[in-house]
Amino acid sequence: MVLNTFAASIQTGHIILKFLLTIIVILCAVGLEILGGIVSRELERTTVILILDASGSMDKEDYSGDKKIEVAKEILLDTVSFEEFKLRTVGLTVVGNSSNKCHVATLVKPGINNRSELRTQIRAVEARGKTALAKAIQQAIDELKPNNFLAESVKYLINVLKPDREAPLVVLVTDGLETCGGKFADTVKAAKKKGIDFRLRWVGYAVNEEHLSQIYRIVEECDGKYFRANNKEELQQVMYEVISEEGGFKIQKPKGIAIKSWKIYLENCDSDEEAILGRRKINESDESLWGKHSLPPGTYDLYVYFENRSSTKKRIKLVVQKNRIQEVRI
């Protein structure tokens, strides 16, 4: 009788153990599927955190006579609607925008389905207070930190599966420098020492010329890139370049040669597409030819034709990389 009871207990124990093991296997499978789905999605996304300076100085006019804060808001509203933003995780941090002098707030946490909220918050911003840039970059950094075990696991798997994946992008739009005593460069360097990697893009809008050398120094210390805009049109172009991350090329101006007209053919080696970038009579000082020509990353054959140089065409191989401008010599 005792043996039968013992045997029955063992059998019941085996059934319970199998049941528990089955539950564990199912939970692990579901967990891995969820984790795999998150990793798969995140591999295709880049996080972008926009930092808008809405301090009191942004209530002043830019070099074209337009109020800086209104222009910046309009351009940011356009920016969050860019085609390039569709698969991006986007957040918004604002400097100022409060009677509290050194106020900084993350108005929209990084997310994929938050465009309506982003537009609402951007429209409501007012230029008030001081410029706490160091505090703002620290808040952006905090948003990039994994805040739980799942987020940490996702980050680890992404680094294993795609170690060359682009780091998050932090875009700061400001008209000046820190006025709240913070140390912007020290904050960035401390974060990177802890392994929090991101790409800094400092967009200087209608900046006082006297501040430029100091800004250049700060951006260089942060291993970032500086972009300058003095009016609405320039700010719009700069923001597109920053977000779309197009590369391109720049033709080096020949010395001592007067060029009457020109034509550039561009063939995309990856898609067999052909486009004429431009053809018209130009002056020797015309910057439309010598300026930057933006292109999506890829391999191209560039054909340059000058009418008054023996009517010959020159073929140049271009390998366009993100955020890099290739110098082309004719």
CA dihedral 212, 218, 221, 222 (to 10 degrees): -120
Q: What are phi and psi of 64, to 5 degrees?
A: -105, 5
143, 107 in Cβ contact below 8 A?
Answer: no
E strand or H helix that includes residue 225? strand 225-229
pLDDT of residue 322: 65
Task: Report the candidate in 94, 91, 105, 109 with the shortest Cα–Cα distance to residue 48.
Answer: 91
Query: How open is the CA angle 217-208-327, to the nearest 5 degrees?
Result: 55
205, 179 in Cβ contact below 8 A?
Answer: no
pLDDT of residue 232: 93
pLDDT of residue 102: 95
User: What residues are paired with 171 via a beta bridge?
Assistant: 50, 201
**3-state secondary structure string across 268-312:** ECCCCEEEEEEEEECCCCCHHHHCEEEECCEEEEEEEEECCCCCC
The model's pTM is 0.64
pLDDT of residue 72: 97
132, 178 in Cβ contact below 8 A?
Answer: yes
40: tokens are 């798969």
pLDDT of residue 284: 45
| Residue 324, CA atoms < 13 Å, CB-side half-sphere | 10
pLDDT of residue 240: 81
pLDDT of residue 193: 92
Distance CA(251)–CA(254), nearest Å, equals: 9
Burial of 327 (0-12, 13-18, 19+ CB in 10 A): exposed
Give the number of other Cβ atoms within 10 Å of residue 164's Cβ: 5
**Interval 298-328: pLDDT, tens:** 777 777 666 555 555 667 777 777 656 677 7
pLDDT of residue 299: 75
| Residue 1, CA atoms < 13 Å, CB-side half-sphere | 0
What does the buried/exposed string (b/e) look like for 18-57 if buried means 16 or more CB atoms within 10 Å of the residue's CB? eeeeeeeeeeeeeeeeeeeebbeebeebbbbbbbbbbbbb
pLDDT of residue 132: 97
pLDDT of residue 295: 63
Radius of gyration in angstroms for the set of CA atoms belonging to the chain, rounded to a whole number:
27
Residues in the chain predicted with pLDDT less than 70, given as ranges, are: 1-45, 83-87, 146-166, 245-248, 253-297, 304-314, 322-325, 330
Give me the long-range contacts of 86-89 (CB less than 8 A, separation at least 24): 87/44, 87/45, 87/46, 87/112, 88/45, 88/46, 88/47, 88/48, 88/112, 89/45, 89/46, 89/47, 89/48
SS3 at position 141: helix
SS3 at position 4: helix
CA dihedral 295, 296, 301, 304 (to 10 degrees): -10
pLDDT of residue 92: 96
